[in-house]
Amino acid sequence: MSYPKILTIQDISCVGQCSLTVALPILSAAGVETCILPSAVLSTHTAGFSGFTVRDLTEDIPAIAAHWRKEKIAFDAVYTGYLGSTEQIAFVKDIFGTLLREGGLSIVDPAMADNGKLYPAFDGAYVEAMKELAFEADIILPNITEACFLTGMEYRENYDESYIAALLDRLTASGAKTIVLTGVGYAPDRTGVVVREGGQTRYYEHRRISKGCHGTGDVYASAFVGALMNGFSPYDAAVLAADYTVGCIEVTQGDPEHWYGVKFELELPNFIRMLGK
């Protein structure tokens, strides 16, 4: 797989440095042929902007997928981000089954919740549909809140290693294969990522930057997938993606005008060097 072809399915916010406007350049910088399937088009992302426009593209997804099947187009990996409805999740499941090459990877970022709460557009039916998609995938990248919704486990603001181990055990028992659990920190100034693969659990810790930035989850997931498609193990890809994301936040600090995302473009040369290219 010297020149892999990947499909990423998520919305595109025309302004805001998140979703597809992040995934496409980061995966391309990783040397991966990146095909896209937008689930919706927004004028901006929804955090901090008002009066944004949204065009839902659910009805277009089956026809696009059918055209690809007709053209015998297939992918080495399919990576999903924000999906707007249970109907879209069903279409993605079909794409996993029909457009992945034999041995191809399905990677799901179950982008549906944070800070103990579902995003406003989602409900219990969406969670149940996401469970089916996530536990069918080869790799999932939930944060702690999303992992709790996927397992029914109580969300805690304060936790210890035994709580995280129990959360991973529940995900594994539910069918999760490789798990990349993000936003795990055991001290106020530290955070990190826990990777469980093949029964082995490893933790990578780094410093927490107090000022949060929108879109960093998409930056992280895209960098992770880019490294994975370059032959990195899930753990090594998780470490690289964490270091890259921290770099993106650091280069954005101190610019009050840039409140809506991170300047990930400025760190792409470092990302490419991290990949050994």
Please determine, for residue 37, whether its predicted confidence score (pLDDT) is greater than 60. yes
Question: What is the reported pLDDT for 138?
Answer: 98
Of the pLDDT bands very low, low, confident and very high (cuts 50, 70, 90), residue 154 is very high
The percent of residues in the chain predicted with pLDDT above 70, rounded, is: 99
C-alpha 97/C-alpha 167 separation (Å) is 28
Of the pLDDT bands very low, low, confident and very high (cuts 50, 70, 90), residue 1 is low
According to DSSP H, which parts of the chain are helical? 20-29, 61-70, 86-99, 124-136, 144-151, 161-174, 216-228, 234-252, 268-274
- For residue range 49-77, what is the model confidence (pLDDT) as tens digits? 899 999 999 999 999 999 999 999 999 99
Quote helix, strand, coil % in the chain, to nearest 5.
40, 25, 35
Structure tokens at 92: 């993605």
Question: What is the reported pLDDT for 8?
Answer: 98
Which domains does the chain carry?
5-271 (3.40.1190.20)
- For residue range 132-142, what is the model confidence (pLDDT) as tens digits? 999 999 999 99
Question: What is the reported pLDDT for 2?
Answer: 77
Q: What is the mean pLDDT of the chain?
A: 95
DSSP state of 138: S
Of the pLDDT bands very low, low, confident and very high (cuts 50, 70, 90), residue 259 is confident
Of the pLDDT bands very low, low, confident and very high (cuts 50, 70, 90), residue 212 is low
Question: What is the reported pLDDT for 214?
Answer: 83
58 by Cβ neighbours in 10 Å (0-12 / 13-18 / 19+) ranks as middle
C-alpha 266/C-alpha 200 separation (Å) is 35
Please determine, for residue 213, whether its predicted confidence score (pLDDT) is greater than 90. no
Question: What is the reported pLDDT for 48?
Answer: 84
- Mean pLDDT across 234-249: 96
Of the pLDDT bands very low, low, confident and very high (cuts 50, 70, 90), residue 211 is low
> What's this model's pTM, rounded to 2 decimal places?
0.96
Question: What is the reported pLDDT for 254?
Answer: 84
- For residue range 74-119, what is the model confidence (pLDDT) as tens digits? 999 999 999 999 999 999 999 999 999 999 999 999 999 999 999 9
92 Cβ neighbours under 8 A, 6+ residues apart: 9, 78, 80, 83, 133
The percent of residues in the chain predicted with pLDDT above 90, rounded, is: 87
- Mean pLDDT across 224-247: 97
Only one residue has tokens 């549909």, namely 129
- For residue range 187-209, what is the model confidence (pLDDT) as tens digits? 888 899 999 999 899 999 987 87
C-alpha 101/C-alpha 229 separation (Å) is 14
Please determine, for residue 210, whether its predicted confidence score (pLDDT) is greater than 80. no
